[in-house]
């Protein structure tokens, strides 16, 4: 760990000078642009040597070193299908990456029944992924271009969680034999854990862990409890933050705080129903959340334990102050300052990293001011 932090400390000196100081409720900070010219980046992961991996929707896995974007992309990825909102999406490291070098990617892929989310893993060697294996294929796929998910998170026991959207066909989120609109839980090699909630239940996909989710594009482990939290897009309003529990039904499209696009009419049966989970926080109107991270570093001590959420439509960064599973307050930061925020990550250096979602996007970092 000490070597890891030394690499990061060395990298700090190479980054450009900071810009305007912003005063939040708790801290003064600056937004420093590290890399420009990314093409619709979706996710980033921190390598132990101080480099970063960044995905671009078009199917490129890029390396950032010492604040510079490597011109050579990582080779060896499976074929990525760019279809509507789908393409190359999340990237995550195996918990034992320092020994096994395993990198996981989620992406849209074409099959006989359309396009759907898949997850593959491979060993990072230089600028290449070797021994690539597909460990998850969404089934059935579909022809629409919306709601692929998908974030990946490893928990403290080494289980892999994959968040999926309803693929723009809302009724699929309630089907037991459909991956769409679910959280998936797997062993690191794609095997289904025997204690998954629907294992052995006739008609159910055994790798499903939840159902009733619309389109989850943020996921993170709570730093104290180790429980998975996600957020998901609502329709016109009704974006949600949820605490993920085995076998739980999160209601979509039976219950929602959103309404039909444009016409504003009711969806489903209302906002609550017995046997269906309530969000711990919601946004009406929608902010279009994407990317999520708990802050546990020491550079912003008054933010420790807070949850940070990026927003696409609202072009802002949301800070949620928590008390257990209760949201005490919300602060909105950077509104319109950096653009559509696609991903939010807490770095091993105690700083907060952002990716924007444009054709000429940036990787930026929040640093303390003063």
Whole-angstrom distance, CA of residue 164 vs CA of residue 172 = 11
Range 31-68 burial, b when 16+ CB lie within 10 A, else e: bbbbbeebebbbbbbbbeebebbbbbbebbbbbbeebe
Spatial distance between the Cα atoms of 167 and 224, rounded to a whole number of angstroms: 33
Cβ neighbourhood burial of 119 (10 Å; 0-12, 13-18, 19+): buried
**Any residues with CB less than 8 A from the CB of 112 and at least 6 apart, and which?**
none
Burial of 228 (0-12, 13-18, 19+ CB in 10 A): buried
Closest among 106, 71, 113, 108 to 91, alpha carbons compared: 106
Report the DSSP beta bridge partners of residue 92.
Answer: 104
Catalytic one among 94, 147, 231, 233? Answer: 147
**Whether 94 is catalytic:** no
Sheet of 160-163: strand order equals 152-154, 160-163, 183-186
Q: Do residues 328 and 338 lie in contact, with contact meaning Cβ atoms separated by under 8 Å?
A: no
What is the C-alpha to C-alpha distance for residues 187 and 206, in angstroms, rounded to an integer?
12
CA 359 to mean position of chain CA atoms: 19
Catalytic residues: 147
């Amino acid at each position: 760990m000490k070597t890891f932090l030394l690499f990061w400390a060395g990298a700090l000196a190479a980054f450009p000078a900071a810009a305007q100081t912003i005063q939040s409720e708790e801290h003064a900070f600056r937004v420093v642009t590290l890399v420009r010219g990314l093409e619709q980046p979706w996710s980033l992961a921190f390598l132990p040597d101080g480099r970063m991996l960044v995905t671009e929707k078009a199917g490129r896995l890029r390396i950032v070193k010492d604040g510079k974007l490597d011109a050579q992309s990582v080779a060896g990825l499976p074929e990525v299908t760019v279809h509507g909102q789908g393409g190359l999406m999340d990237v995550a490291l195996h918990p034992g990456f320092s020994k096994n070098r395993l990198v996981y990617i989620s992406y849209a892929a074409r099959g006989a029944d359309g396009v759907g989310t898949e997850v593959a893993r491979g060993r990072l060697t230089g600028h290449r992924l070797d021994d690539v294996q597909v460990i998850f294929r969404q089934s059935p796929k579909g022809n629409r271009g919306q709601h692929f998910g998908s974030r990946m998170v490893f928990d403290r026991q080494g289980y892999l969680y994959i968040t999926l959207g309803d693929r723009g066909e809302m009724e699929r989120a309630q089907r037991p034999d459909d991956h769409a609109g679910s959280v998936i839980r797997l062993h690191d090699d794609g095997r289904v854990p025997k204690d998954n909630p629907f294992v052995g239940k006739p008609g159910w996909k055994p790798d499903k862990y939840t159902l009733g989710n619309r389109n989850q594009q943020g996921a993170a482990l709570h730093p104290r409890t180790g429980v998975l939290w996600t957020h998901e897009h609502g329709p016109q309003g009704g974006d949600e933050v949820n605490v993920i529990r085995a076998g739980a039904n999160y209601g979509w499209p039976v219950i929602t705080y959103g309404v039909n696009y444009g016409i504003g009419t009711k969806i489903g049966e209302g906002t609550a129903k017995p046997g269906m989970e309530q969000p711990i926080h919601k946004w009406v109107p929608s902010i279009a959340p994407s990317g999520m991270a708990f802050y546990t570093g020491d550079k912003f001590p008054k933010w420790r334990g807070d949850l940070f959420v990026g927003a696409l439509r609202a072009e802002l960064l949301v800070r949620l102050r928590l008390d257990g599973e209760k949201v005490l307050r919300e602060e909105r930061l950077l509104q319109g300052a950096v653009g559509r925020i696609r991903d939010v990550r807490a770095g091993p250096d105690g700083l907060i990293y952002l990716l924007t979602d444009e054709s000429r996007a940036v990787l930026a970092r929040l640093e303390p001011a003063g």
